[in-house]
Structure 1
Amino acid sequence: MPFDPASATIAIVTYNRSGLLTRLLTSIAEMDPKPGHVVVVDNASTDDTTAVVESFRDTLGTELIYRRMETNTGGSGGFSEGMRVAFELGSEWIWLMDDDVEVIPDGLAKMGKWAPRFRSIQGRRYDYDGSEFYWQYRVAESLAIPIPFAPASFDASGYREMNSGCFEGMFIHRDIVEQIGLPDPRFFIYWDDQTYGWLASRRTTSVIVDEFVLRRTREIKQWDMGIRHMNASSDAYRYYIMRNRGHIKQYYRSLGIHNPVLFGLGTALTFAKELIRLVFVERKVRGTSNLFRGLRDGRMIAKDRSWRPMPPLAAQPTA
């Protein structure tokens, strides 16, 4: 069936970045074609986010739904809520975005071109400076870590198969959401989208396509490694990077693929990578305590016998 833009919903998560959100909503107002709905999930911002959203109510050119959370649920909780709202609206396609990107005017048409063939699609992004942004689209499954040097070029097919995901542009069909459930809010931040994309790839052929559909609007401190970049992080990210390995371990166990030795090696490599990030990107050594706290709390999560994966969603008719 041909792709119908009105069947798509853009779901955005924002937190205290109303200036960036303004740029994103402005770019959506300039899109052609536009999606049927735009859902903005506000993680209890304390700036003028509510006023910014309301200022686009009559000018966005499509239906705008605003969900303000009572507390900051992190990107994981925000995208889980955004996906839930979009699914309950009957959306066939859900396009997830952080607030620090803007949409290329024909971005939805470019994604829709691939919709008849695939059910989990990732487009490409321009970086803040206009260069091509490289995203690690392949995961070494046994290690549960991204492969940093997976080929960046595309052949004549225009796509590469992936087994990961990124909520900065994931374009996913409701059939897959129904099967794997909502994004897991327990992650709070980090590993959530990689895990969700990996779960999707177990149900369908997931692809990254050679289509530039987004542009990053926030500059991030980087270490230029020549063929790749390593971004700066934060103490919160360092904590959740290690803690959430516990959730990934539980997902692996629930699917019967957990290899303790290889998964442990992946955890050690992740720890080492964060140490390198501290020294070479952020030029400091303070912050390692957050890595150790994350390891400790991740072990507690991994020992929780009551832990269960996110459940599949009951089938609901589309609008």
Structure 2
Amino acid sequence: MASISARPDAASNETFSPASATIAIVTYNRSGLLTKLLESITAMDPKPGHVVIVDNASTDDTTAVVESFRERLGAELVYRRLDENTGGSGGFSEGMRVAYELGSTWIWLMDDDVEVLPDGLAKMGAWAPRFKSIQGRRYDFDGSEFYWQYRVAEPLAIPIPYAPSGFDESGYKEMNSGCFEGMFIHRDIVGQIGLPDPRFFIYWDDQTYGWLASRITTSVIVNEFVLRRTREIKQWDMGIRHMNASSNAYRYYIMRNRAIIKRYYRSLGVYNPVLFGFGTALTFGKELIRLLLVERTVRGTSNLFRGLRDGRKISRDAAWKPMPPLVAAGAAS
């Protein structure tokens, strides 16, 4: 990837139009959760111009559920059912592509296990004239305030778990990460950094995409609650923070995908092998703690080692290239 242009300092004079926004949703075999999300969109005021739903080859009644909302959603619905499960990474890459090709100025990404608060788009739109990569806040399943790790220790390529959670009177904090559960991003940024990388399949994809965005624009998390999680996840309560349960698939991709991040770092000239390796070791240790204290088992460690092994193949792949930009340098649409 070529060097990325410097971030703009001035706020945009562009007036936010809700119709210029597209909500892009990725779903897989969770039609009940998708129903809750679509119901919440029907209650939004204002509504987006489009809602794009990417279905990762679900085998349940997802198609019927989507069609049942077509006439009452209040926004143009675009449904893409994929031939195979491409993971969250592939789904969000396709959702971003469809939204971008629709001409959307703003693209709001979300999983199927959240619902949108009625004034969510209005709250995000209020920040749109100032920033081009914005993350709102969300409530957890139990109604508590969900803490998201919005800062990355760049040399280590890992999230900083105890970055301050409070906001000052500005109402925002700069971030250098991203989360596809609520990322609100301008098409100019998408054009410059390209689509999310589907090769991640799951994990680290949104963090890396948000990091790429933060290199060319001031990315922020704003003190606005716009989403609510609708699925309960097993957690270890650490007081201020929580550690979620995982799965063998997640454990594998957590370690394998470190190699993809490494390739991006190398392409941009920010890779330090010692510090990055230390970040990988810390990630491995964190996953062992997750197994022992959250899931209370030692089974699953083999998936961590498999991920490291397969990551070495990615590191040595001479044909590997980062995702290309969608527009030529200096020609943002």
SS of alignment partner, residue 240 of structure 2? coil
In structure 1, the residue matched to 2:42 is 29
Residues 293-316 of structure 1, C-alpha deviations (whole Å, 9 max, x = no match):
000001110111111000000379
In structure 1, the residue matched to 2:7 is none
How many angstroms does 1:259 deviate by? 0.2
* Residue identity in the other structure for 1:125: R
TM-score (norm 2): 0.94
CA contact (8 A) 1:90 1:317 kept: no
SS of alignment partner, residue 133 of structure 1? coil
Report the number of matched residues: 318
SS of alignment partner, residue 37 of structure 2? helix
In structure 2, the residue matched to 1:295 is 308
Residues 168-210 of structure 1, C-alpha deviations (whole Å, 9 max, x = no match):
0000000000000000000000000000000000010000000
* Residue identity in the other structure for 1:223: W
Please point out which of 116, 124, 134 is paired with 1:103: 116
How many angstroms does 1:227 deviate by? 1.1
Residues 243-292 of structure 1, C-alpha deviations (whole Å, 9 max, x = no match):
00010000000001100000000000000000000000001000000000
In structure 2, the residue matched to 1:179 is 192
1:272 aligns with 2:285: yes
Please point out which of 138, 151, 167 is paired with 1:154: 167
* Residue identity in the other structure for 2:39: T
* Residue identity in the other structure for 1:19: G
CA contact (8 A) 1:238 1:290 kept: yes
In structure 2, the residue matched to 1:139 is 152
Residues 16-68 of structure 1, C-alpha deviations (whole Å, 9 max, x = no match):
00000000000001000000000000000000000000000101011000000
Give aligned-pair identity as a percent.
84
In structure 1, the residue matched to 2:69 is 56
Residues 141-160 of structure 1, C-alpha deviations (whole Å, 9 max, x = no match):
00000000000000000000
Measure the CA separation in 2 of the matches of 1:258 and 1:305.
17
Please point out which of 235, 239, 258 is paired with 1:245: 258
CA contact (8 A) 2:28 2:56 kept: yes
* Residue identity in the other structure for 2:307: G
SS of alignment partner, residue 223 of structure 1? strand
Measure the CA separation in 2 of the matches of 1:201 and 1:314.
18
In structure 2, the residue matched to 1:218 is 231
SS of alignment partner, residue 236 of structure 2? strand
Alignment of 1:33-52 (within 5 A): 33-52=46-65
TM-score (norm 1): 0.99
In structure 1, the residue matched to 2:248 is 235
How many angstroms does 1:2 deviate by? 2.0
* Residue identity in the other structure for 2:21: A
CA contact (8 A) 2:191 2:332 kept: no
In structure 2, the residue matched to 1:2 is 15
In structure 1, the residue matched to 2:91 is 78
Measure the CA separation in 2 of the matches of 1:306 and 1:78.
23
SS of alignment partner, residue 293 of structure 2? helix
SS of alignment partner, residue 266 of structure 2? helix
Please point out which of 171, 176, 184 is paired with 1:163: 176
* Residue identity in the other structure for 1:66: Y
CA contact (8 A) 2:141 2:232 kept: yes
In structure 2, the residue matched to 1:254 is 267
